[in-house]
Amino acid sequence: MKYLPLIWSALFRRKTRTAFTIVSVIAAFLLFGLLYSVRAAFTSAGHSIAGASRLITMSKESLIVSLPTSLLIRIQSVPGVTAVTYANWFGGYYQDPKNQLVAEAVAPNYFDLYPEFVLPAAELRAFHQTRTGAVVGESLAQHFHWKVGDRIPVQATIFPQGNGSNTWTFDLVGIYHVNDPSLKGQEGALFFNWDYFDKATQFGGGMAGWYIERVAQPKDADSVARSIDAISANSDHETKTQSESAFQASFVGQFANIGLIVGGIMAAVFFTLILLTGNTMAQAVRERVPELAILKTIGFSNRSVLSLVLAESVLLLGLGGIVGLLLSGAAVSGIRAKLGPLIPMLPVTAHTWLDGIALAVVIGLVVGVLPALRGMRLRIVDALSGR
């Protein structure tokens, strides 16, 4: 890149103006990173590879109606189903009602169907062997500073214990983590033994909130789902089975259209950015007409001059874009660490960077095109004589 010193010096000819423009670019891309991570939390959450093979079976009537545990054996025998497990919603909060928990009572083989939850074998064994045992996600443990071995009292919001107490105390025996950054939103749950829930709860025991199945072939998901629902057809506990992604889509669809809101804000931000950097580039080129003319006299072709100006513009956007994305990465980590696992933000990923850099390049080209054409088309003779 032998032309780099030339392009760099052109960009920093007016240091203050360039610096101010770069700050505006940094601000725009900082926002891009932050908002992208919010949007990702709503759109890509839950789309794991393992998830493509999972189905969710719930009561057809309503989310809040449970299913009989007798369904387990019958679902297991449906062709195409390789594993079945179930879970019950518990809810609750820790210490302060503000600290709502995602807590579920799960069957012993639950973690078999969720390989993306990485749990050391020893800890899984401890979970099975400890009646009051609980496994929590790493994000949740970090937020409350829990360690394996702690006793965790949870205040129930729905299910008091049979003895009337509202406090359920669990023994923290394991901490799971997820490797895929786009699944980080799943690291905030607390799982405990369904058996303990069933015996200790005042009501709501003996039932399964929902079932989760693994299919041998993801492409057979729809037909397997229909077969599962056929089991309970015309009974008093009709079921609705759908793929995990369909279930997530319905869930996410209930929130205000986050994608649209985020997209709208980013459109406003980048529109103003284009205007701002376009203005800077136009000014910069206007001032440099004599110098561009010199380059042409030396023998730089029209196309070279065009490329030099475009490169300058892309460099301007690229520098600001990279710094902005770096800052956004730090900001997102900071926010997530401070506000806990329930905040709807995913960490900044390679995806964010790819899209961000691509955007910077495209904007750089768009903003540079008119000044570049102007530079390219200038007539040497006119430019040198100052006309």
Task: Give the Å distances, CA to CA, from 110 to 104, 210, 211, 213, 367.
Answer: 11, 12, 10, 10, 53
How near is the Cβ of 325 to another protein at its closest, in Å?
13
Nearer CB in complex with another protein: 294/357: 294
How near is the Cβ of 382 to another protein at its closest, in Å?
10
Cβ-based neighbour number of residue 317 at 10 Å: 29
Buried b (16+ CB within 10 A) or exposed e, 23-35: eebbebbbbbbbb
Structure token digits, residue 347: 């960490």
Dist CA 198 CA 195 (whole Å): 5
Nearer CB in complex with another protein: 49/381: 381
Q: Name, in order, each residue with C-beta under 8 angstroms of 71's C-beta and a sequence gap of 6 or more.
A: 57, 208, 211, 231, 232, 237, 239
How near is the Cβ of 38 to another protein at its closest, in Å?
8
Nearer CB in complex with another protein: 262/314: 262
Nearer CB in complex with another protein: 252/361: 252
Nearer CB in complex with another protein: 169/257: 257
Q: CB–CB of 214/53 below 8 Å? A: yes
How near is the Cβ of 23 to another protein at its closest, in Å?
4
Task: Give the Å distances, CA to CA, from 275 to 26, 27, 385.
Answer: 15, 15, 31
How near is the Cβ of 121 to another protein at its closest, in Å?
35
Nearer CB in complex with another protein: 73/256: 256
How near is the Cβ of 290 to another protein at its closest, in Å?
7
Q: CB–CB of 82/215 below 8 Å? A: yes
